[in-house]
Amino acid sequence: MDSIIVRGGAELRGQIPIAGAKNACLALMPATLLSEEPLTLTNAPRLSDIRTMTQLLESLGAEVSSMQGGKVIAMSTHDLASTRADYEIVRKMRASNLVLGPLLARAHEAEVSLPGGCAIGARPMDIHIEALTALGAEIELRDGYLHAVARGGLRGGRVALRFASVGATENVLMAATLAKGSTVIENAAREPEIVDLARCLRAMGAQIEGEGTSTIEVQGVDRLGAATHRVVTDRIELGTYMLAPAFTGGEVECLGGKLELVGAFVEKLDAAGIDVSETEAGLKVKLRGERPRAIDVTTEPFPGFPTDLQAQMMAMLCTAQGTSRLEEKIFENRFMHAPELVRMGARIEVQGGHATVTGVDKLKGAQVMATDLRASVSLILAGLAAEGETVVNRVYHLDRGYEHVEDKLGAVGAKIERVTA
């Protein structure tokens, strides 16, 4: 099993290229199930989750090939071989549930195992079920599978999400493209990944308006066609590497970064004493003083502060001047990285969905264990600021969402390496 070894104290300077968004690509790939014609994605990230989605789509009858080292994914689903998303594949990744809407839309039936993924909360499927039921689907849970049928096809309707779930918005958005009549999605998620999916579907011939707002309108069409689409920049990888100079000093330019992807995050960086400036190629980041300042952070749906950057921000605040408070409002169990940071000398108190972080002068290198994807990279960042050597174990989580972390950080001066036990 691989581990990442980090030796702290090295200042970072240089450029870090930011990949296409994992969460966007995992929603875009199931869109191939909606059409008999090819769908090609460019700027795709090279991650284990992408390989898992490829395996799932192939099991359903899609032909999937990778080109340019995995940065281009060419897909075609001329015929559906199956409408069953098997547990052995789905259990590996939460986003596997995004085949449910497309299968219902095209085949009028689906059998999808309840999904797996990181242990950061229950994340039930009930919102997805309610949304698709509003379009005429009949769904019941039997033997760990969602058995869904749309007799005579899906019908447009009013879908009022009781929470602005990204996954539920994506599922019902794809389903509505082939539903009969008009669909209105209220309290829709507004994340850039939703906008990216809508743009791709529109390129395939879908009629969609309002993406990026809380109300999306879809007029169903008879069929969707071929398209080529560039995956949006990964705002979570972007935010992660934007934090790196705050741990080490120096200056890093994140290539491909755009302010509109990380607005609320940049506001918090500014409050913590971190300068962010736009360049022709992306975003340049530099710490103003010797240490960041304490701030308060509350995670919220987009355009608020993203839950997927909470662990990385907590790691940075461990050496900030003063006491910071973090409130996690999206997922329960998402402070599991806190005990590992405490092993490195951090002062953190967790009570339910709240954490209090009192900054210390220095962290100390230690053996730590990654508990989920974002926790993995937060411990690596903490290692950059720690005295001595930090060994981050169980980094298979990391490979689900970050491509070649050790290469990207190493290229700007970090002392980091991957070892295999």
The catalytic residue among 25, 118, 254, 318 is 118
Beta bridge partners of 180: 155
Tell me whether residue 118 is one of the annotated catalytic residues: yes
> Closest by alpha carbon to 375, among 297, 314, 330?
314
Q: Which two tokens stand for residue 117?
A: 């993924």
Judge whether 190 and 301 are in contact, CB under 8 Å. yes
Question: Helices 166-176 and 100-107 sit at what angle, rounded to 10 degrees?
Answer: 10
Nearest to 315 by CA among 348, 286, 287: 348
The response to whether 23 counts as a known ligand-binding position is yes
Measure the CA dihedral 239/244/246/247, to 10°.
Answer: 140
310-317 vs 235-248: helix crossing angle, rounded to 10: 10
393 assigned to a ligand binding site: no
Q: Is there a binding annotation on residue 308?
A: yes
The two tokens of residue 133 are: 């039921």
Other beta carbons within 10 angstroms of residue 419's beta carbon come to: 11
- CB count within 10 Å of CB 4 equals 24
End-to-end CA distance of the chain: 5
The three-class DSSP label of residue 131 is helix
Which pair of structure tokens corresponds to residue 274?
A: 């971190």
- Is 49 annotated in a binding site? The answer is no
What tokens were used for 139? 């769904």
Binding annotation for UDP-N-acetyl-alpha-D-glucosamine: 94, 308, 330
Binding annotation: 22-23, 94, 308, 330
> Which residues are annotated as catalytic?
118
